Amino acid sequence: MSLSFLVPAFLAGLLAIGVPILIHLSRRQTQNQVPFPSLMFLRKIPHQTESRRRIHRWPLLLLRCAAIILIVLAFSRPFVETSSGTSPVPGTGDRELVVLVDRSYSMGVGDRWESAVAAATAAIDGLSGGDRGTVILFDANAESATESTTDRNVLRAAVRDAEPGARTTRYTPALRYAGRILAASPLPRHELVVISDFQRTGWDADAGEIATLRLPMGTTVTPIAVSDTSTAANVTVAGVEFAREMVEDRERVDIVGRLTAAGPVPEEVLVSLVVDGRTIETRPAQLDGGSASVRFNPLTLSASGSTRATLRIPDDALGLDNEFHFVLGSDQRVGALIVDGPGADAATSYFLERALAIGNDPGFRTQIRNVSDLQAADLAENSVVILNQAQLPSGAVGDRVREHVESGGGLVLVLGDNAPGSWPGVLPSVPGAVDRSGSGGMAIGYVDTGHPVFESFAGPRTGDFGAARVYRYRPLPDGGFPRVLARFGDGGPALAERPVGEGRVLVWASTLDGRWNDLTLQPVFLPFLHQLVKYAAGYTPPRSWMTIGEAIDVQQIVTAGEEFSMALTPGGDQIPLEPAVPLALEEVGFYELRDADAPDRALSFAVNVDPGEADLSAFDPEEMRTGLLAATEATAGTSGATLTLADRERQQSGWWYLVIAGFILLIAETLFSNRTSGKTRADPSPAR
């Protein structure tokens, strides 16, 4: 048990004790002036100054000094360190060693991994007696390869069996894990060995979290760098871009590969495009300024299924980033089924069809049916059903439409002359049309720019809905829909939405054929319609590749209604798929989803490494040591829990009692001083 101070600098205030001492030595003389007829005899008597400067009124002086001491101690924030809360004494006793070994894919460069294994083994060999050790392998995650053990063979085996992975480097999870192990250790000495190539990208990514790390007080941090700058040259296939277009019902894709380079790399690199396992084209890429792009001839995709493709460059120091895999789906367009009402003519869906025929990102695939001819099978290929001035069908077709919506599809009702139809709880009854043509029509007065349909119009000069004139509309009842996305100039709802099941229903209260309004003639019509259909379809851009380390929900990448029972990894392993359990992507290459009941049906997706790891530039390990030193100084371990000095002092709060005691002494000093001063004034110096 020992006394410590949180702010020991305040102890310098103890020098203030000299003030009352000086006052007691000096003020006594100035206060007690004794007139005397003549100093003739006193001057003749030899005496020493020290004897004249004797302290008087000792109790008052001691009272004042004690008050000052207590208040100074209070400001220094004292606390008692008990033996259970003290940090280990450095240099004595057994040692708890945690070895962090970087296994990110950058460790595969040159002989980095071999160096890391050797360094880790050397650190383990340094254990002796009752020392304990733990090996933690880390990349973006931290995994304990062993429990804390005194068996060095176990530790060596853990290091020997490890190998670099395909993930990126993150230091914080591993350091936090190590901190917990060290804090829980009962051993008096703590040591942390970090073996890594100390990639700058990983350290920068952790910059905001380093300050939150806590290591037990007295922990020795030893960073061991295994990076070799001579092998740092690396070219990476960082990504790929596509430009799709439909040519005679076949989709054609322009593929542009992007490359990045670091270190002394060659000026030109050959890039090969491999499609379904066959190299179909190789083009040179000129590395200029550390990056390059290479365009391949357009690739025409098959009418169905998906196409696996890979961009590949020759081997260099780091192999994993020399390939970039992606999958091109056969048809990425959004299917929209336009259902016209009875008596519709060609003009009824003209604007809809024409507007949806434009655009490639994504493209729209439209199909027009009359409500009287609508079949349940028509819904299969389309994500959105647009009832263009047609009632919701009754009977089996109507039920199919409802099922379609409830399972995630979209339904857009363009009311016009026709009532919405019957769907209790979803579609309210709508009265007859309101005619505003007599007053010259009205504008669309409000759009909800916070909604995905209108969010692209939130910025300035992104479209003016107020330019459109609306002459007739059917008044939707207020409260009939949970959310109104747009309103006419008179306040009536123009566009309303109701979620149903996993899908959604949107109702447009006028027409989209140019008869009841001129919105179709406005520049905003095309983007508005595209956004409306994409939102109704629940469209998300398809991902042509994933990044390793992700955990994906399979249901989000499969088409509605499709089910798969297992995933086949690039290495050939089979992973059974379970509902609500994400699939962790641990390998680079092409995964394949399959269903045991339908062996012919499969869905592929590609997984690549994070190209950020390809930047092999390193930081100074001393940065880490310094950062962790600060974390260590601000930390004290106690009973497995980590308490800072401030926390411990705050728990004890001894300063509060010192302040109270100090002020009590000051009050006593005031009373005592007044009493003695009054007595002194009333009592002349000579003793009668």
The binder of another protein chosen from 1, 2, 9, 41 (CB under 8 A): 41
From residue 467, alpha-carbon distances to 471, 475, 482, 514, 525 in Å are 13, 21, 27, 14, 11
54 belongs to the binding site for another protein (CB under 8 A): yes
**For another protein, which is the closer residue by CB, 9 or 45?**
45
Determine the residue type at 307: T
Which range of residues in 23-31, 139-147, 611-619, 623-631 is near another protein by CB under 8 A? 23-31
Contact, 159 vs 124, CB < 8 A? yes
Q: Which residues contact 22 (CB under 8 A, 6 or more apart)?
A: none
Query: Measured between alpha carbons, how far is 310 from 242 in angstroms, rounded to an integer?
Result: 13
Alpha carbon separation from 643 to 359, 637, 639 (Å, rounded): 61, 6, 10
Q: With binding defined as CB under 8 A, does residue 460 bind another protein?
A: no
Contact 609, 139 (CB under 8 A): no
Of 32, 279, 302, 677, the one binding another protein by CB under 8 A: 32
Binding of another protein at residue 28 (CB under 8 A)? Answer: yes
Shorter beta-carbon distance to another protein: residue 30 or 92:
30
Among 1, 9, 39, 346, binds another protein (CB under 8 A): 39
Stretch that binds another protein, among 101-109, 278-286, 351-359, 680-688 (CB under 8 A): 680-688
Distance of closest approach, residue 687 Cβ to another protein, in angstroms: 4
Query: Residue 269 and residue 287: Cα distance in Å, rounded?
Result: 7
30 binds another protein (CB under 8 A): yes
Shorter beta-carbon distance to another protein: residue 37 or 91 = 37
Residue 686 near another protein by CB under 8 A: yes
Q: Considering the complex, what minimum distance in angstroms separates the CB of residue 669 from another protein?
A: 21
Rounded CA separation 541/411 (Å): 20
The widest CA-to-CA distance across the chain, in whole angstroms, is 139
By the 8 A CB rule, do 134 and 147 touch?
yes
Q: How far apart are CA 324 and CA 609, in angstroms?
A: 8
Residue closer to another protein, measured from CB, 33 or 559:
33
Q: Which is nearer to another protein, 50 or 161 (CB)?
A: 50
676 binds another protein (CB under 8 A): no
CA distance 279 to 321: 18
Q: Is 43 in the site for another protein (CB under 8 A)?
A: yes
Q: 370 by DSSP, 3-state: which?
A: strand
Q: How would you label 186-215 residue by residue, b for 16+ Cβ within 10 Å and e otherwise?
A: ebbbbbbbbbbbbbbbbbebbeeebeebbb
* Interface with another protein, residue 33, by CB under 8 A: yes
**Torsion-angle region of residue 181: left (phi > 0), alpha (psi -120 to 50) or beta?**
alpha
Check if the beta carbon of residue 321 is closer than 8 Å to that of residue 614: yes
Let me know: does 588 contact 608? Beta carbons within 8 Å.
yes
CB 682, min distance to another protein, A: 13
Map 523-551 to HEC letters: CCHHHHHHHHHHHHHCCCCCCCEEECCCE
Q: Which of 29, 82, 230, 639: binder of another protein (CB under 8 A)?
A: 29
The interface region with another protein, picked from 27-35, 106-114, 490-498, 593-601 by CB under 8 A, is 27-35
Binding flag, residue 685, another protein (CB under 8 A): yes
**What is the Cβ-side half-sphere exposure of residue 603, based on CA atoms within 13 angstroms?**
19
Please, which residues have CB within 8 angstroms of residue 667's CB and are 6 or more apart in sequence? none
Q: Candidates 36-44, 326-334, 470-478, 644-652: pick the segment binding another protein (CB under 8 A).
A: 36-44
Contacts of 271 (CB under 8 A, 6+ apart): 237, 257, 259, 282, 283, 284, 285, 294, 311, 312, 313
Residue 84 in tokens? 């259970």
Determine if 688 is a binding residue for another protein (CB under 8 A).
yes
Decide whether 30 or 83 has the Cβ nearer to another protein: 30
- Start-to-end CA distance of the chain, whole Å, equals 57
Q: Does 540 bind another protein (CB under 8 A)?
A: no
Q: Of 42, 247, 346, 596, which lies in the binding site for another protein, with binding defined by CB under 8 A?
A: 42
- Alpha carbons 688 and 680: distance in angstroms, whole number: 14
45 versus 580: smaller Cβ distance to another protein: 45
Considering the complex, state which of residue 59 and residue 477 has its C-beta at the smaller distance from another protein: 59
What's the token pair of residue 458? 């939130």
Pick 53 or 250: Cβ nearer another protein: 53
One residue of 49, 92, 304, 540 binding another protein per CB under 8 A: 49
Of positions 1, 2, 9, 51, contacts another protein by CB under 8 A: 51
Nearer to another protein, 51 or 559 (CB): 51
Residue of 27, 52, 160, 675 interacting with another protein (CB under 8 A): 52
The single residue listed with the structure tokens 């990044």 is 547
If one asks whether residue 58 binds another protein (CB under 8 A), the answer comes out as no
617, 623 in Cβ contact below 8 A? no
**Can you tell me the distance from the alpha carbon of 493 to that of 488, in angstroms, rounded to the nearest whole number?**
6
- Rounded to a whole number of angstroms, the minimum distance from the CB of residue 40 to another protein is 5
Minimum CB separation of residue 681 from another protein in Å reads 12
How many positions of this chain bind another protein (CB under 8 A)? 29
Helix axes 645-652, 654-682, angle to 10 degrees: 60
Question: CB of residue 665 vs another protein: minimum separation in angstroms?
Answer: 26
Supply the minimum distance, in Å, between the C-beta of residue 17 and another protein.
22
Task: Retrieve residue 522's tokens.
Answer: 């406005």
Q: Is 56 in the site for another protein (CB under 8 A)?
A: yes
Select 47 or 461, whichever has its Cβ closest to another protein: 47
For the CB of residue 677, give the shortest distance to another protein in the complex, in Å.
13
Q: Which is nearer to another protein, 54 or 278 (CB)?
A: 54
Residue 227: Cβ-neighbour burial (10 angstroms; 0-12, 13-18, 19+): buried
Q: Is 44 in the site for another protein (CB under 8 A)?
A: yes
Cβ closest to another protein, residue 43 vs residue 278: 43
When asked if residue 682 is in the footprint of another protein (CB under 8 A), the reply is no
- CB nearer another protein, residue 464 or residue 683: 683
Does residue number 461 form part of the binding site for another protein (CB under 8 A)? no
- Between 24 and 312, whose beta carbon lies closer to another protein? 24
Among 1, 2, 47, 304, binds another protein (CB under 8 A): 47
Q: Which residues bind another protein (CB under 8 A)?
A: 28-45, 47, 49, 51-54, 56, 685-688
